[in-house]
Amino acid sequence: MRRRIFLCCLLGLYVPAGLAQDFKLHAWLDGRLVAAPAETSWTHGGLGKTRFGGGGVDARFGGAGVVGTAQFTPALMALASVQWQDTDYATLDTIEAYLRYRPVSLSRWRWSLQAGAFLPPISLENDAIGWTSSWTLTPSAINSWVGEELRATGAEGRLEWRGDDASWELRSALFQRNDPAGNLLAVRGWSLSDLTYGLGSRLHEPDAVVRRNGGQPPGRYDPFQNIGHRSGWYANLDWRTSVGGRLSLMRYDNRADPAAHSDSGVFAWHTWFWSLGASADTGPIRWIAQAMDGATVIEPVDGLQFETRFRSAFLLAGWNRGAWRPALRIEHFSTRELAAAVGTGQGEHGNAVTAALNWRPRDWLRLSAEVLRIDSVRKQRVEAGLAPASAVTQVQLGVRLIY
Amino acid sequence: MRCLLVVASLLLGNAWPVLAAEVTVHLDDGRGHAVSDAVVMLIPDAAPAAAAAPPAPATHVVDQRDETFVPYVQLLRPGDEVVFRNSDSTRHHVYSFAAIRTFEFVLRPGESSPALVMDKSGIAAVGCNIHDHMITYLFVSAVPAIALSGGDGNATIGHLAPGRYTAHVWHPQLHPGHPQPSQSVTIGGDADIGHLDFTLSLMPDPRMFMDREHLDY
């Protein structure tokens, strides 16, 4: 019962509407025309790294969502972001839902507390409604994975120092319900996909992996669940200058018990990483760079651990020309399984280039064109009867209506 | 009757000499864009013979519309009052932790704050604790010759006595730590018209205007 009341509070449903003094609703609806690569997308059990696969040129549903906020008091706000997706299977899920308490401070220091389910503050790209990117349709490999498998359910404290030339912000959280995080990087590898998963959705494992483990595809799992009784944490230090520069450093560790598993056989993956991000403006050009380096470990049998190292980095240049915003991003990604862990070595490495052109002729309308090229090598493809090397191109024309 | 008017005019002219000299300052950002909301101050190089009586305290209104403070920069004299008005349909929590004055007001839609006396010279950055992207500046100064640039990038300061002045410019987006832009100008007579041009190197605008795509929570 207590848990139900807590969840209702997070969604702003438990407090009668009359008590909240400010409600706001925002929404988006996204449609695409997609020229998809021939390889089956990971969202349909394949090993393709793009959101769409199977070849051909088709109209696709990009997604729809609603973001609601309620300002209960000047210091207390609730936010819930809900989306509808049908790329993998039709699902209505919650991207984020949290309460934030931020009292006013009449000094340079300000603190706040946030509780609920929220995304760790990793992405410097995903600054638009529904945790989308305002520069490209497809986020980088790093932020694709963040949207797929990372969600903190717990509490986050923030401490800010607001100077004349720069401001500092330290954020740290204790969280649960993210114990399977890392599984996807190990069994599938990186992806470049704007399919953000929410609470209540299920991630698709590659069919080849499901069959190898004796299962019958499709194999799906809930990445946002407790397995074992450990809490994870992250700490993020953010530095922003008044000239538009930003530097962000994070350490994340879900502290999952790699030997623990759920009744349905989903294992906890102990995942930790460093994340470094920077952004700066040179005239109308916005530069964004992020790097991530970490590992994830599973222990399916006592004393036998499989460890997968992962790393990725990208550099994005976006040209802010008012209504027109072209962007170009290059990136590298890799995973490596320790040789002692898996004899076949299922690691991967690859590069990607994304070129996008965005046009906002109206405040409520965004038109985008994007070309995404991915070159990668993954030995796991051999299991599915494919060549280990893959070079794919995905082209999208997108229309987004924003309320 | 006509004689009386002539006599009165002469008498008034003797008592209050008409100072028609003025300086117009134009400010741009070096890329052809006029710079508004810049504070221009003319400081005489020599101390004036007699200090002019300060004007009576005034009350200024800083509005909040579309989650934006209007104006971006408000000029005040020490002793002037400022009222914050909420013309939005949402609440605002106006506050400042400036050295010259700390304050906070929670303003419901349509509500105005009590008049706040700003009796110390200096600059107060003012924000909204609910909407972090909102910011305005109160520039409190006792300098008599002072003006704010308009949308055309021009600021005009009139009623100047002859003499040599130094024009100083302040803008919220000037790079901190850099020397304040300044130039000298000489007023030779009571009816002189001076002109100065400033090219300012400005940082990005810290205000995030309402955008459906960027929610900023």
Place of tokens 């308490």: A101
The domain in which residue B188 lies consists of: 16-47+57-199
> Is B43 part of a structural domain of the chain?
yes
Asked if A402 lies within 8 A of B95 by C-beta distance, the reply is no
Confidence of residue B10 (pLDDT cuts 50, 70, 90): very low
pLDDT of A345 reads 53
pLDDT at A6 exceeding the cut of 60: no
Confidence of residue A12 (pLDDT cuts 50, 70, 90): very low
Q: A22 vs chain B: nearest CA distance in angstroms?
A: 6
**CATH code (residue B150):** 2.60.40.420
Residues A393 and A374: their CA atoms lie apart, in Å, by: 6
How many domains would you assign to chain B? 1
The DSSP code sequence of A291-312 is EEEEEEEEEEETTEEEEEEEEE
pLDDT of B63 reads 98
The answer to whether residue A102 neighbours chain B at the CB level (below 8 Å) is yes
Entry pTM? 0.89
Ranking A264-268, A338-342, B26-30 by mean pLDDT, the lowest is A338-342
With a CB-CB cutoff of 8 Å, which residues 269-288 of chain A face chain B? 281
> Is B134 part of a structural domain of the chain?
yes
> Is B7 part of a structural domain of the chain?
no
Question: Which long-range CB contacts under 8 A does B45-48 form with residues at least 24 apart?
Answer: B45/B163, B45/B164, B45/B165, B45/B166, B45/B184, B46/B163, B46/B164, B48/B161, B48/B163
> Is B9 part of a structural domain of the chain?
no
Distances in Å between the Cα of A162 and the Cα atoms of A36, A166, B98, B109 are: 47, 7, 11, 28
pLDDT at A106 exceeding the cut of 90: yes
pLDDT of A341 reads 53
Distances in Å between the Cα of A400 and the Cα atoms of A86, A130, A196, A365 are: 16, 12, 16, 6
| The pair of three-digit structure tokens given for residue A177, joined into one six-digit string | 């319900």
Place of tokens 């600054």: A127
The answer to whether residue A25 neighbours chain B at the CB level (below 8 Å) is no
Confidence of residue B49 (pLDDT cuts 50, 70, 90): low
Strand duo B59-65 + B80-86: pairing: parallel
Domains of chain A: residue spans and CATH: 28-61+130-402 (2.40.160)
> Shortest CB distance from B212 goes to which of A26, A105, A127?
A26
The answer to whether residue B104 neighbours chain A at the CB level (below 8 Å) is yes
Distances in Å between the Cα of A77 and the Cα atoms of A3, A137, B153 are: 19, 29, 40
> Is B213 part of a structural domain of the chain?
no
Residues A252 and A274: their CA atoms lie apart, in Å, by: 7
Contact A131, A167 (CB under 8 A): no
The answer to whether residue B199 neighbours chain A at the CB level (below 8 Å) is no
The answer to whether residue A74 neighbours chain B at the CB level (below 8 Å) is yes
Query: Per 3-state DSSP, what percentage of chain A is helix, strand, and coil (rounded to 5)?
Result: 10, 55, 35
Confidence of residue B39 (pLDDT cuts 50, 70, 90): very high
The overall average pLDDT reported for chain B is: 88
Q: B129 vs chain A: nearest CA distance in angstroms?
A: 6
pLDDT at A378 exceeding the cut of 70: yes
pLDDT of A322 reads 86
Asked if B176 lies within 8 A of A242 by C-beta distance, the reply is yes
> Is B52 part of a structural domain of the chain?
no
The arithmetic mean of pLDDT across residues B148-153, rounded, is 96
Mutate to test the interface with B, among A19, A21, A22 (most CBs of B within 10 A): A22
In percent, how much of chain A has pLDDT > 90?
82
The answer to whether residue A67 neighbours chain B at the CB level (below 8 Å) is yes
Place of tokens 């497809």: A138
Confidence of residue B188 (pLDDT cuts 50, 70, 90): confident
The arithmetic mean of pLDDT across residues A169-174, rounded, is 98
Asked if B90 lies within 8 A of A360 by C-beta distance, the reply is no
Interval B102-121: pLDDT, tens = 999 999 999 999 999 999 99
Residues A196 and A67: their CA atoms lie apart, in Å, by: 15
The answer to whether residue A105 neighbours chain B at the CB level (below 8 Å) is yes
Asked if B217 lies within 8 A of A79 by C-beta distance, the reply is yes
The overall average pLDDT reported for chain A is: 92
Asked if B129 lies within 8 A of A77 by C-beta distance, the reply is no
> Is B5 part of a structural domain of the chain?
no
Buried/exposed code over A274-294 (b: 16+ C-beta within 10 A; e: otherwise): ebebbbebeeeebebbbbbeb
Contact B82, B105 (CB under 8 A): no
Beta-bridge partner residues of A78: A70, A99
pLDDT at B3 exceeding the cut of 50: no
> Is B98 part of a structural domain of the chain?
yes
> Shortest CB distance from B176 goes to which of A26, A164, A402?
A164
Ranking A335-349, B77-91, B137-151 by mean pLDDT, the lowest is A335-349
The answer to whether residue B202 neighbours chain A at the CB level (below 8 Å) is no
Contact B217, A99 (CB under 8 A): no
Interval A276-325: pLDDT, tens = 999 999 988 999 999 999 999 999 888 888 999 999 999 999 998 889 99
Q: Which residues of B touch A281 (CB under 8 A)?
A: 204
> Shortest CB distance from B203 goes to which of A21, A242, A364?
A242
